[in-house]
């Protein structure tokens, strides 16, 4: 027995020795064709599941059985390579870039890089250099470049916000902006507003703080399947930004310098009449009346008053000054309104007239200036095989087309990566941003520059002959009291204040100042515990303060007694992720990756907003100057804890299955119902990998994909509990606490829930809220032909948002204005097409074309029993709403009365008088949909032509369909300033049927077509035919356009020529133009604008500041 046991021991030992002797070590390095080491290359022994991966320096070691084996080298973005290896020898391998999938590696959710062909959903990437043509705002720079992404750029004011919507709006009353993520950390892109977005200044969304020079790439994750790993935070899609990092330069430092100067001009304005003077019913009336409208006589029939006995005195016609009322008057009558010279414009037949023609002023053209932007940045980068770094500094100074408007931004960013051991690595990035400037009120407020500027009659000079926009002669009267000089006289308070501010008063005395100090960054540590397990931890945050002040001095139209608003915000986002990533080659054909992530997220916002009213002194913008001070303070907190699982299976590098699940726990949801699960599954099949197609000369690549996913929105902060604030909001327009007395609209005043104003009433909490949920199905196909010369990607999606969180009205007898409930749904479905082609590719010339096209249809479903419409924002005449059976954001207002066949009913009773008899009748029985801002489709067509060292790029941006309410035109019609009112006195016969409304509001038809000749004039335009009338229909206009969004021409100097300088490695100079050409039927400012900025109520134009066209010279230098 002992002998037998000894025999087996010796036998096993010999077998082990034999096996050991047969195993041989193969080692080497894997690099790209440029010699750079390739990390994380998968190396597999062919026919087995054994393998390894290269380290950060491209090195590897692998034991093989026997003296030889075939090794398969695989890496994302490179061609697979099979190499015969001999045991005991060094094997260095060079991998070539995969021409079929070149540049097809994209950054997906949680910052994970994936090979694009493995994805079962749509992702589109924008490279950093594609954002450099528009450095003002990275969101604006995306216009026309991504299918299914609609960007609206609000105004041309410096620092203006941009609205971005991906595949339609998801939430009725909540946020519809996508999540922004930088280097794996969510950041804040909200808009802090001091006043209503219908008036006041145009605020910034915080993505404006990002420096395009620091961005390496931007991935747009469009649907829930792509964003499911982010759960609640990314229900509206996600913009994943990867910043630039250092690289291995063998210890040498690279220096890059970018510098540009940009000139900006207004690109489009409304048309104004230049024929009729200030006044009413054909009579001249000046500021002393005061008259605010331009319904006076034809200016050619007017002359200046001559205050001497000799009307032919040659010294008189030019000897006039501006009186304290704002009138043009004779020199000796500056301060005495009782003298004849106070009324200085008279009819040309007046015996006291000089006969000198009254001058016509183009106040709009004289007001706007050429803006200038100076942008400079420098970056230092370098590294070795262990460490890399990049340090950048940038500065932008933007002076806008509105005088004295500015926006400045300074950014410092530092990033570093370190390979501490073969298994342990780390990276970190941190950025500091200082931004802000001087903003000018716009929009619907009486202190907005548009109201005072566009309504100014042609006979009044806003600038009073001044050549500088800061000259006080333009806006202050010489009465010794600082009274405001404006065409509307003292209609504001009857003593010192006009109805509308002189625009020069606004830009000098009502400057909104803001300053943001922001720090964002992240740190990551990664440890390869085993070949199949990686453990990493990432922590980061985004913290900023936003301090702002808005003064309205004494005699401002919006607040004649003066007002000062201070507004301070402190925002903080903290985020951490613990990742466990398992990777295993299950067999020669099947590869598995599983990732677990524990995510912790917290949000904190603090807002303090004191407002001072009734100022004591002029030109002292300090709260201590206010007699009454009201204050608002709000603290908003939110936390989420999440667990995420993500499984990926790849079969034969052609069939890819991906499934994920996320469990979110939110502090804004009920304690017993605050945990929710969001699943996602997608499948992609690269059928071009089939043997029958693999070597096709026609089809280079083919893939079909399908996915289903769910994500959601949690409840707004504090919707669970009845929190209260005092009755005034932080705009300073209320007079204080009114509790327990009823407000004007019947709601209980005093303390308001959730920061609402007394006009909206308190909001009753709901402890049973659940999150809004979005479900989406997506299918797509991706094809490439002729060695990737032509590429087509088509996607179809259908998504449904349910359990919308709405404030549903309740009886005021409850003491509340509304109750928060889960009710309502929105459906979006659409098609997206991306086409890339290279029609010409020669030795010295190439032509590349990019086309994207997308159409989305949205529909609001059930809301809540008894609730058919939820207002999103607007004015009395036009309101953007979510209404059952209509597209989201449809604009509602009144139309003219029509019969059953759709013919307009024209008033047939002469007793109705001027402006009504022979004119269309308003239908006040109901407010109806007048159209939607949502386009029929959008498209971008980009062409790049390269000839030797020249590169020409042009991007045409198209929006087909969609409407906008031109409230500006409506107001200008009422005020007699619109171009179309020059036809006053002309006649027309309105097409329609004759009829009227009886005393009970019933339509009575005469049984014939209208044949009454109507005289167009003041009665019609200031009544039912104007913007202040009850009908919005005439002012709904097509907002579609075709524009040359970008054009650039660059020349890159020959490196051989630069070699003579010894220190210049690269030099490129170029020209960039933006919005140089626009074709649209819209008669107002650029229809790409939006009064509400990034708000949900789009398609509203009411004295929105104009957009700009820009010309830029750029220099790029590498040292």
DSSP per residue, 47-61: TSS-EEE--TTSEEE
Q: How many CA atoms within 13 Å lie on the side-chain side of 441?
A: 33
Instruction: Give pLDDT tens digits for 741-758.
Output: 333 333 333 333 333 333
Write down the pLDDT at residue 591.
92
Integer angstrom CA distances of residue 884 from 172, 652, 712, 861? 11, 49, 21, 5
Integer angstrom CA distances of residue 866 from 498, 869, 883, 950? 44, 9, 12, 64
> 23-97: which CATH topology?
Immunoglobulin-like (2.60.40)
Instruction: Give pLDDT tens digits for 356-369.
Output: 788 899 999 999 99
Domain locations along the chain: 23-97, 275-359+456-499, 723-761, 896-929+968-1018
Q: Which of 774, 910, 592, 886 is nearest to 228 (CA)?
A: 774
Q: Cis peptide leading into 740, omega within 30 of 0?
A: yes
- Which H or E run includes 17? helix 2-22
pLDDT band, very low/low/confident/very high, at 335 (cuts 50, 70, 90)? very low
- Average pLDDT on 712-727 reads 69
Q: Where are the alpha helices (DSSP H) in 773-851?
A: none
Write down the pLDDT at residue 235.
83
SS3 7: helix
DSSP per residue, 198-224: TEE--PPBGGGGS-GGGEEEEEEE-SH
Chain center to CA of 505? 30
CA-to-CA distance for 414 and 523, rounded, in angstroms?
Answer: 12
Question: Do residues 539 and 583 make contact, with C-beta atoms less than 8 angstroms apart?
Answer: no
CA-to-CA distance for 1012 and 995, rounded, in angstroms?
Answer: 11
Question: Do residues 647 and 592 make contact, with C-beta atoms less than 8 angstroms apart?
Answer: yes
Residue 703 pLDDT more than 70? yes
Which conformational region is residue 1086 in: left (phi greater than 0), alpha (psi within -120 to 50 degrees), or beta?
beta
Go through 605-641 and write b for each residue having 16 or more CB atoms within 10 A of its CB, e for each that does not. bebbbbbbbebeebeebeeebbeeebebebebebebb
pLDDT band, very low/low/confident/very high, at 772 (cuts 50, 70, 90)? confident
Write down the pLDDT at residue 114.
74
Secondary structure string (H, E, C) spanning 1057-1096: HHHCCCCCCEEEEEEEEEEEEEEECCCCCCCCECCCCCCC
Joined together, the tokens standing for residue 567 give 């507004």
pLDDT band, very low/low/confident/very high, at 762 (cuts 50, 70, 90)? low
Joined together, the tokens standing for residue 379 give 């970056």
SS3 371: strand
CA-to-CA distance for 798 and 471, rounded, in angstroms?
Answer: 58
Contacts of 22 (CB under 8 A, 6+ apart): 65, 66
pLDDT band, very low/low/confident/very high, at 903 (cuts 50, 70, 90)? very high
Write down the pLDDT at residue 905.
97
CA-to-CA distance for 812 and 814, rounded, in angstroms?
Answer: 5
DSSP single-letter state for residue 347: E
> Between vectors from CA 43 to CA 38 and to CA 44, what angle results, nearest 5°?
170
Residue 85 pLDDT more than 60? yes
- Average pLDDT on 141-149 reads 91
Residue 314 pLDDT more than 50? no
Higher pLDDT, 320 or 91: 91
Name residue 394's beta-bridge partners.
Answer: 377, 411
Beta strands in 816-932 (DSSP E): 818-822, 826-841, 845-860, 869-874, 879-883, 890-896, 905-907, 922-932
The 10 Å Cβ neighbour count of residue 879 is 21
pLDDT band, very low/low/confident/very high, at 408 (cuts 50, 70, 90)? very high
Name residue 954's beta-bridge partners.
Answer: 943, 1047
Q: Of the ranges 112-121, 175-184, 841-850, 994-1003, which one carries the lowest mean pLDDT score?
A: 112-121
Residue 889 pLDDT more than 60? yes
Write down the pLDDT at residue 334.
38
CA-to-CA distance for 619 and 989, rounded, in angstroms?
Answer: 55
pLDDT band, very low/low/confident/very high, at 306 (cuts 50, 70, 90)? low
Q: Which of 967, 844, 988 is nearest to 918 (CA)?
A: 988
| Per-chain mean pLDDT for the chain | 85
Write down the pLDDT at residue 22.
57
Write down the pLDDT at residue 734.
34
Phi and psi (nearest 5°) for 1001? 85, 10
CA-to-CA distance for 687 and 119, rounded, in angstroms?
Answer: 14
Q: Give percent above pLDDT 70 in the chain.
A: 88
- Which stretch, 248-262, 794-808, 1006-1020, has highest mean pLDDT? 1006-1020
Residue 211 pLDDT more than 50? yes
Contacts of 651 (CB under 8 A, 6+ apart): 589, 590, 591, 657
Instruction: Give pLDDT tens digits for 596-606.
Output: 999 999 999 99
- Average pLDDT on 444-456 reads 91
Question: Do residues 522 and 538 make contact, with C-beta atoms less than 8 angstroms apart?
Answer: yes
Q: Of the ranges 474-483, 698-707, 889-898, which one carries the lowest mean pLDDT score?
A: 474-483
- With 0-12 / 13-18 / 19 or more C-beta atoms within 10 angstroms meaning exposed / middle / buried, residue 866 is exposed
Write down the pLDDT at residue 865.
84
DSSP single-letter state for residue 100: G
Joined together, the tokens standing for residue 367 give 């007001």
Write down the pLDDT at residue 353.
74
CA-to-CA distance for 1095 and 160, rounded, in angstroms?
Answer: 13
DSSP per residue, 668-690: TS-GGG-EEEEEEEEEEE-GGGS
Phi and psi (nearest 5°) for 305? -75, 135
Joined together, the tokens standing for residue 623 give 């709260």
The count of residues in the chain is 1119
Residue that is written with structure tokens 């994380």 in the block: 40
Q: Which of 698, 701, 511 is nearest to 118 (CA)?
A: 701
Instruction: Give pLDDT tens digits for 1035-1093.
Output: 999 999 999 999 999 999 887 777 667 788 889 999 999 999 999 999 999 999 888 88
Q: Give percent above pLDDT 90 in the chain.
A: 55
- Average pLDDT on 830-858 reads 95
Joined together, the tokens standing for residue 565 give 């608003």
pLDDT band, very low/low/confident/very high, at 271 (cuts 50, 70, 90)? very high
Residue that is written with structure tokens 């002076």 in the block: 399
SS3 591: strand
CA-to-CA distance for 99 and 78, rounded, in angstroms?
Answer: 8
Integer angstrom CA distances of residue 64 from 16, 25, 44, 685? 15, 6, 10, 33
Go through 378-391 and write b for each residue having 16 or more CB atoms within 10 A of its CB, e for each that does not. bbbbbbeeebbbbb
Instruction: Give pLDDT tens digits for 534-582.
Output: 999 999 999 999 999 999 999 999 999 999 999 999 999 999 999 999 9
Q: Of the ranges 207-221, 383-397, 727-741, 954-968, which one carries the lowest mean pLDDT score?
A: 727-741
Question: Do residues 847 and 836 make contact, with C-beta atoms less than 8 angstroms apart?
Answer: no
pTM of the shown model: 0.85
CA-to-CA distance for 222 and 108, rounded, in angstroms?
Answer: 11
Question: Do residues 958 and 143 make contact, with C-beta atoms less than 8 angstroms apart?
Answer: no
Write down the pLDDT at residue 340.
38
CA-to-CA distance for 502 and 1102, rounded, in angstroms?
Answer: 18
Write down the pLDDT at residue 307.
54
Question: Do residues 818 and 865 make contact, with C-beta atoms less than 8 angstroms apart?
Answer: no
Residue 706 pLDDT more than 80? yes
- Average pLDDT on 198-203 reads 83
Integer angstrom CA distances of residue 213 from 189, 192, 391, 411? 19, 25, 12, 10
Write down the pLDDT at residue 34.
66
Write down the pLDDT at residue 759.
36
Higher pLDDT, 171 or 101: 171
Joined together, the tokens standing for residue 220 give 């747009």
Q: Are strands 302-305 and 512-530 parallel, antiparallel or unpaired?
A: unpaired
List, as own/partner pairs, every contact residues 996-1005 make where C-beta atoms lie below 8 angstroms and the sequence separation is at least 24, other chains included: 996/905, 996/907, 996/908, 996/909, 996/912, 996/921, 997/897, 997/921, 1001/925, 1003/897, 1003/899, 1003/905, 1005/899, 1005/905
The 10 Å Cβ neighbour count of residue 824 is 25
Contacts of 671 (CB under 8 A, 6+ apart): none
């Amino acid at each position: 027995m002992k002998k037998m046991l000894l025999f087996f021991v010796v036998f096993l030992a010999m077998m082990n020795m034999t096996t050991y002797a047969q195993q041989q070590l193969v080692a080497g390095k894997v690099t790209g064709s440029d010699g750079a080491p390739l990390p994380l290359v998968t190396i597999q022994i062919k026919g087995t599941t054994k393998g390894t991966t290269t380290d950060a320096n491209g090195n590897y070691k692998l034991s093989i059985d026997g003296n030889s084996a075939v090794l398969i080298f695989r890496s994302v973005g490179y061609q697979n390579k099979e190499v015969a290896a001999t045991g005991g020898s060094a094997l260095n391998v060079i991998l070539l870039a995969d021409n079929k999938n070149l540049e097809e590696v994209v950054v997906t959710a949680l910052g994970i890089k994936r090979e694009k062909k493995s994805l079962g959903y749509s992702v589109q990437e924008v490279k950093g250099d594609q954002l450099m043509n528009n450095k003002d705002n990275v969101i604006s720079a995306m216009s026309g470049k991504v299918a299914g992404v609609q960007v609206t750029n609000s105004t041309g004011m410096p620092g203006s916000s941009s609205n971005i919507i991906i595949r339609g709006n998801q939430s009725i009353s909540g946020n519809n902006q996508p999540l922004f993520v930088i280097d794996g950390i969510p950041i804040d892109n909200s808009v802090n507003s001091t006043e209503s977005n219908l008036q006041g200044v145009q605020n910034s969304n915080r993505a404006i703080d990002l420096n395009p020079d620091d961005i390496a790439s931007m991935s747009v994750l469009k649907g829930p399947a792509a964003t499911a790993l982010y759960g609640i935070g990314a229900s509206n899609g996600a913009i994943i930004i990867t910043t630039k990092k250092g690289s291995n330069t063998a210890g040498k430092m690279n220096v890059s310098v970018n510098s540009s100067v940009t000139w900006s001009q207004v690109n489009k304005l409304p048309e104004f009449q230049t024929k009729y003077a200030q006044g009413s019913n054909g009579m001249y009336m000046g500021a002393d009346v005061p008259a605010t409208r331009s319904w006076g006589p034809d200016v050619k029939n007017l002359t200046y008053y001559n205050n001497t006995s000799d009307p032919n005195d040659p010294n008189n016609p030019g000897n006039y000054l501006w009186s304290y009322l704002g009138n043009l008057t004779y020199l000796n009558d500056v301060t005495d309104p009782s003298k004849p010279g106070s009324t200085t414009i008279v009819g040309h037949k007046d015996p006291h007239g000089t006969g000198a023609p009254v001058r016509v002023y183009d106040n709009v053209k004289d007001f706007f200036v050429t803006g200038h932007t100076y942008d400079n940045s420098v970056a230092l980068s370098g590294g070795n095989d262990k460490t890399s770094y990049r340090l950048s500094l940038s500065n932008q100074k933007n002076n806008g087309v509105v005088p004295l408007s500015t926006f400045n931004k300074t950014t410092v960013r530092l990033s570093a990566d370190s390979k501490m051991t073969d298994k342990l690595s780390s990276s970190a990035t941190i950025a500091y941003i200082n931004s802000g400037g001087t903003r000018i009120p716009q929009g619907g407020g009486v202190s907005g520059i548009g109201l005072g500027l566009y309504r100014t009659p042609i006979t009044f000079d806003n600038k009073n002959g001044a050549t500088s926009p800061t000259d006080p002669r333009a806006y202050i009267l010489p009465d010794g009291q600082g009274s405001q000089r404006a065409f509307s006289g003292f209609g504001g308070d009857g003593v010192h204040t006009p109805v509308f501010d002189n625009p020069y008063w606004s830009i000098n005395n009502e400057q909104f100042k803001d300053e943001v100090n922001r720090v964002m960054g992240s740190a990551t540590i990664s440890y390869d515990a085993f070949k199949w397990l990686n453990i990493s931890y990432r922590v980061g945050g985004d913290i900023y303060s936003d301090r702002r002040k808005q003064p309205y001095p004494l005699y401002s139209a919006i607040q004649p007694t003066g007002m000062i608003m201070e507004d301070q915000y402190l925002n903080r986002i903290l985020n951490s992720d613990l990742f466990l990533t398992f990777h295993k080659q299950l067999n020669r054909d099947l590869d598995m990756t599983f990732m677990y992530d524990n995510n912790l997220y917290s949000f904190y916002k603090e807002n303090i907003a004191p407002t001072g009213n009734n100022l004591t002194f002029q030109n002292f913008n300090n709260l201590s100057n206010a007699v009454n001070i009201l204050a608002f303070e709000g603290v908003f907190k939110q936390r989420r804890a999440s667990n995420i699982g993500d499984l990926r299976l790849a079969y034969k590098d052609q069939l890819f299955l991906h499934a994920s699940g996320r469990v979110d726990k939110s502090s804004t949801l009920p304690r017993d119902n605050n945990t929710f699960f969001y699943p996602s599954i997608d499948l992609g099949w690269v059928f071009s990998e089939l043997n029958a197609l693999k070597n096709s000369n026609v089809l280079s690549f083919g893939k079909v994909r399908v996915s289903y996913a769910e994500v959601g929105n949690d409840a707004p902060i504090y919707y669970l509990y009845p929190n209260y604030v005092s009755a005034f909001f932080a705009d300073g327009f209320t007079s204080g606490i009114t509790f327990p007395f009823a407000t004007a609209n019947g709601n209980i005043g005093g303390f308001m829930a959730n920061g609402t104003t007394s006009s909206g009433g308190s909001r009753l909490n709901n402890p049973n809220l659940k999150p809004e949920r979005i479900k989406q199905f997506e299918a797509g196909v991706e094809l490439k032909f002729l060695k990737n010369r032509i590429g087509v990607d088509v996607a179809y999606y259908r998504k449904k948002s349910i359990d919308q969180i709405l404030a549903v009205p309740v009886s005021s007898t409850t003491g509340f204005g509304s109750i928060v409930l889960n009710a309502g749904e929105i459906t979006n479905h659409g098609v997206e097409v991306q086409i890339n082609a290279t029609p010409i590719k020669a030795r010295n010339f190439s032509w590349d074309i990019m086309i994207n096209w997308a159409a989305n249809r949205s529909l609001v479903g059930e809301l809540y029993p008894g609730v058919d419409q939820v207002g999103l924002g607007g004015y009395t005449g036009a309101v953007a709403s979510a209404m059952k059976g209509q597209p989201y954001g449809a604009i509602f207002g009144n139309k003219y009365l029509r019969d059953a066949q759709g013919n307009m009913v024209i008033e047939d009773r002469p007793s109705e008088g001027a402006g009504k008899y022979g004119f269309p009748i308003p239908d006040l029985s109901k407010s109806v949909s007048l159209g939607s801002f949502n386009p029929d489709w959008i498209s971008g067509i980009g062409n790049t032509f390269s000839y030797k060292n020249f590169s020409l790029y042009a991007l045409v941006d198209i929006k087909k369909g969609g409407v906008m309410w031109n409230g500006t035109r409506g107001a200008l019609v009422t005020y007699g300033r619109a171009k179309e009112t020059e036809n006053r006195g002309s006649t027309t016969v309105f097409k329609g049927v004759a009829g009227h409304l009886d005393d009970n509001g019933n339509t009575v038809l005469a049984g014939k077509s209208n044949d009454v000749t109507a005289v167009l004039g003041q009665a019609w335009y200031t009544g039912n035919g104007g913007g202040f009338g009850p009908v919005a229909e005439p002012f709904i206009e097509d907002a579609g356009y075709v524009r040359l969004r970008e054009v650039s021409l660059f020349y890159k100097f020959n490196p051989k020529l630069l070699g003579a300088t010894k220190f210049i490695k690269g030099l490129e100079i170029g020209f960039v133009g933006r919005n140089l050409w626009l074709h649209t039927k819209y008669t107002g400012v650029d229809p790409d604008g939006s009064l509400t900025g990034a708000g949900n109520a789009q398609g509203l134009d009411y004295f929105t500041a104009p957009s700009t066209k820009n010309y830029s010279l750029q220099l790029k230098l590498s040292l």
